[in-house]
Amino acid sequence: MEKNRGVKVVAVIALIVAVVGLTIAYASLSVTLNITGSAKVTPANWDVEFENPAVDEESKIGGADGTAPTLEGKTTLKDFQITLTKPGDSITFTFDVVNKGDIKAKLSTLTMPEVSALTYEGTALEAQKTTDENTVKENIEYKLTDESGSEITDGGTLVLDTDSNQRKKMKLTMTYKSTAQSIPSAAVNISGLDISMIFEQAD
């Protein structure tokens, strides 16, 4: 009995040694790999603005006259004045849209009123006032184009890069149609000409 007990003890000890040996062997074949570091986000420069508002003197047709918009800050052109007197009169303002930042930009949204949505306020006596307003409303053209004369639309057709293609010259034109058969009896003031151009990051 004692002999069998001794054999069992030796077997247990051998088993423990074997397990320890396996553990040590396993431990010796493992390694821990570490990755360390840090990160930060440094904002790029986003800067799309207006420059060089002016009257295109060569574009004046007939008795058209006007005063160029003034630049308020970098993003607002305001207070332009236009006077048209007869069929065929036309005037154009020019200005640059410039990308001075580090991010490619595109025109995502253009809000420009239709001629029919403008406000017309005649100065004639009441009996003629409405007729004058309708006459002007039917014969005015108001459009925004690029330098080549292509009409500007939204949805990314106007793209400003950050290098050689970063500047685009725009043209804002108002015309009294040459096909008009009549003119108002007195001055008609036009308002509601505001335009909004929203640029966002291009792909």
Q: How far is 43 from 21, CA to CA, in rounded Å?
A: 57
How many alpha carbons lie under 13 Å from residue 17 in its C-beta half-sphere? 6
Token output for 85: 């007197």
Token output for 200: 């966002």
Q: Look at residue 6 and tell me if it is in a domain.
A: no
* Chain mean position to CA 71: 18
Q: How far is 57 from 59, CA to CA, in rounded Å?
A: 5
Q: Look at residue 37 and tell me if it is in a domain.
A: no
* Residue 4 pLDDT: 53
SS3 151: strand
Q: How far is 33 from 3, CA to CA, in rounded Å?
A: 51
SS3 118: coil
User: How many other CB atoms sit within 10 Å of the CB of residue 109?
Assistant: 11
* Residue 7 pLDDT: 47
pTM of the model: 0.80
* Chain mean position to CA 99: 10
Q: How far is 125 from 99, CA to CA, in rounded Å?
A: 49
Q: Look at residue 145 and tell me if it is in a domain.
A: yes
Q: Look at residue 155 and tell me if it is in a domain.
A: yes
| Cβ proximity of 60 and 90 under 8 Å | yes
Q: Look at residue 64 and tell me if it is in a domain.
A: yes
Alpha helices (H) in the chain, listed in sequence order:
2-28, 126-139
| Structural domain of 78 | 48-201
* Chain mean position to CA 72: 18
Q: Look at residue 28 and tell me if it is in a domain.
A: no
The tens place of each residue's pLDDT in the chain, 203 residues long, gives 554 555 454 454 554 544 445 454 555 688 999 999 999 999 999 999 999 999 999 999 999 999 999 999 999 999 999 999 999 999 999 999 999 999 999 999 999 999 999 999 999 998 899 999 999 999 999 999 999 999 998 777 899 998 877 999 999 999 999 999 999 999 999 999 999 999 999 98
* Residue 163 pLDDT: 82
Q: Look at residue 12 and tell me if it is in a domain.
A: no
Q: Look at residue 41 and tell me if it is in a domain.
A: no
First to last CA, the chain: 87
Number of domains composing the chain: 1
* Residue 13 pLDDT: 52
Closest CA to 141 of 185, 172, 167: 172
Residue 105 bridge partners (DSSP): 160, 201
